[in-house]
Structure 1
Amino acid sequence: MMRVSEVMTPNVQLAAPDQSIMDAAKMMADADCGALPVGENDRLVGMVTDRDIVVRALAQGKTDSTIRDVMTESIEYCFEDDDIDDVANRMGDLQVRRLPVLNNDKRLVGILSLGDIAIAGADQPATDALAGISEPQPGAPMH
């Protein structure tokens, strides 16, 4: 059984909700990533993605937005000692490509992405998660 801690990306940079979306974009560029966990008062309060910045701010002309304005507040996460197969299935069910990873003290210790799972050689869990993520939501427009 493979654990999340074996394949996650550790040492993740944390953004603050009152930082600008420009700050978030620079942080993502520097870290070569598409998402940042958002923390406030030593707690995880959201996630912001490059897509959040584009769709929720730039596409609407809101170039002076803060991370809080565009972040997703409802946070799904996993624990570092969770089983990769279980987490991959959850990612598919939730239709997410990455999850923050917490330790047992609920402190952020990393990020688990679909890519991390695939690189680790966990082919079937990655395939199952991608199938779930790619499945259209009921009532969603087809593209």
Structure 2
Amino acid sequence: MFELHPQLKRDCRDLGRFTLCRLLLMNESRYPWFILVPERAGVSEIHQLSDTDRHQLADESALTAQTLAELFQADKMNIAAIGNLVPQLHIHHVVRYRSDPAWPAPVWGKFTPSPYDDGGLERVSERLIQALPAGLLQTGP
């Protein structure tokens, strides 16, 4: 049975589910940073997914990246499945700007996280949810 890794639960806000993946927002205010987690138990690598799930992951990742790039006017999208600290398969989608504090280096481990203020997490979450095609993201239990 699928269960979200405790570190992802601590670091992120759960926004809802696509067909395969759970969509999370990282609580790091320097970057619009979203994570897709395929809801498959015991999977730590993309190659462990079925052919159907790999294609679905690619589709959900491409849609997420395109939506984020347009919504946040990204200079570059950083997309990666690293998993060195959190073994559960998860795909980072980080909006990058030439003016951001880590540019051009990767954002991972660069700074101590700077959480959103009280309303910031909600505002960023709602912006993405509203930008996605209606009915694509399932929210709630």
Q: If you compute each CA radius of gyration, which structure gives the higher value, 1 or 2?
A: 1
TM-score by length of 1: 0.31
Structure 1 or 2: more helix by fraction: 1
